[in-house]
Copies of this chain bind each other. A is one copy, B any other.
Amino acid sequence: MAQETVLIPVDTLQQFMIDVFTALGVPQEDARVTAEVLLASDLRGIESHGVGRLKMYFSRIKNGQQKPVTEFEVVREGPTTAVVDGHHGMGQVIGKRSMQMAIDKARNYGMGAVAVRNSTHFGIDGYYALMAVNAGMIGMSFTNARPSIAPTFGTMPMLGTNPIAFGAPTDEECPFLFDAATSIIQRGKVEVHDREEKSLKSGWVIDKNGNPAMDPPAILGGLEKGDYALLPLGGAGEEFSGYKGYDLATIVEILSASLQNGAFLYGLIGFDKDHHLQPFKLGHFFMAMDIGHFVPLQDFKITTGNILRELRQSRKAVGSERIYTAGEKEYENEKRIRKEGIPIVPNLQKDLKNIQMELGLSKYHFPF
């Protein structure tokens, strides 16, 4: 085991993930999609939602919380809308097919939206918004998740980190892509701090009394018991408008659950009253709008590019050298990481080794 972070070539890690999922019973093409979505996260430098969670998917498939073979059922369909039941299959496979449906509907009618029930963790939210962008559309993607965020004036983790993803094409190489939890930090960031053995900042997480909590292992163990909660964007109370983050998380919960008659809040915890594991029953909501139905796509791209350039060129704060727009940092990360390889921290090396041994994938010779 290396004592330090090592860089693994993208192709190697991609093939390894495909082989892991295939060995777990995921059909070849679905394994490819799942690995592709996870890799998209690592490539963008979002270590919380990529290969770092391979162990999580591995465990969930093994313990039956999600099924390796995805049964994708369209429960109801109209010109611009659909409801899909994922039957606890692979979230990435369900997500990609659902967003494709929304895109196809938007191509025909201008707009398309698909609500999904009984899904599982689908990786980074931004992947799906980006699918629409690549089709010349505005894409939005929402998902609920295990209870983590406390409501304003509350201390129970009630809402998932409930991310919002929004993508739009521009006249630049890099599209506008927002992909963020409605909490200040997301659960995956706690996991990254845990793997790196760093403590959190005060004001991100509270304990059951509402006091600041900073210890990742305690928080990761205690979130499920309701002993800790993430704070919504804007923080505790109303002084800095933390209720806006809380309300945005609630909006994502409504979009993800109510439009498909699905599970929500503590219904997504992954175990029943007797503490037996059960599927997570996540809900997603995907939306696409075909820009060409409003204005010529090229006009939209230029206007959006102009907005972003004016923002970036505006006056910097003392000590700041650069103003970013959404997606820029991740786009630059991807260029760099494709060349350098994916960084694997020591604790993650251990996880990957264990998976490799358990599945007998001896053809891989990692430098750890």
Contact = CB atoms under 8 A, between A and B. Distances in A.
Interface of A: 76, 78-81, 83, 109-113, 115, 138, 150-156, 158-159, 166, 168, 176, 178, 180, 184-185, 201, 203-204, 208-210, 226, 233-236, 239-241, 243-245, 247-248, 250-251, 253-255, 257-262, 264-266, 289, 291, 293-295, 299-300, 303-304, 306-308, 310-312, 314-318, 320, 322-326
A154 B314 contact: yes
A154 B259 CA distance: 39
Contacts of A265: 307, 310-311
Given A233-B244, A303-B258, A314-B158, A325 B250 contact: yes
Contacts of A308: 250
Nearest to A294: B259
A111 B80 contact: yes
B109 A258 contact: no
A109 B83 contact: no
A147 B246 CA distance: 26
29 contacts: A78-B110, A79-B109, A80-B80, A80-B111, A81-B110, A81-B289, A83-B294, A83-B295, A109-B109, A151-B325, A154-B314, A154-B320, A155-B317, A158-B311, A178-B247, A184-B241, A210-B317, A243-B324, A247-B326, A250-B311, A250-B326, A257-B303, A258-B304, A258-B307, A259-B291, A261-B300, A262-B303, A264-B307, A266-B310
B303 A151 contact: no
A164 B315 CA distance: 26
Nearest to A183: B241
A300 to B, nearest CB: 5
Nearest to A266: B310
Contacts of A152: 323-324
A151 B311 contact: yes
B258 A315 contact: no
A155 B307 contact: no
A254 B295 contact: no
A155 to B, nearest CB: 5
Contacts of A306: 264
A51 to B, nearest CB: 24
Nearest to A169: B258
Contacts of A76: 294-295
B259 A300 contact: yes
Nearest to A140: B251
Contact of A314 (B115, B151, B251, B260): B151
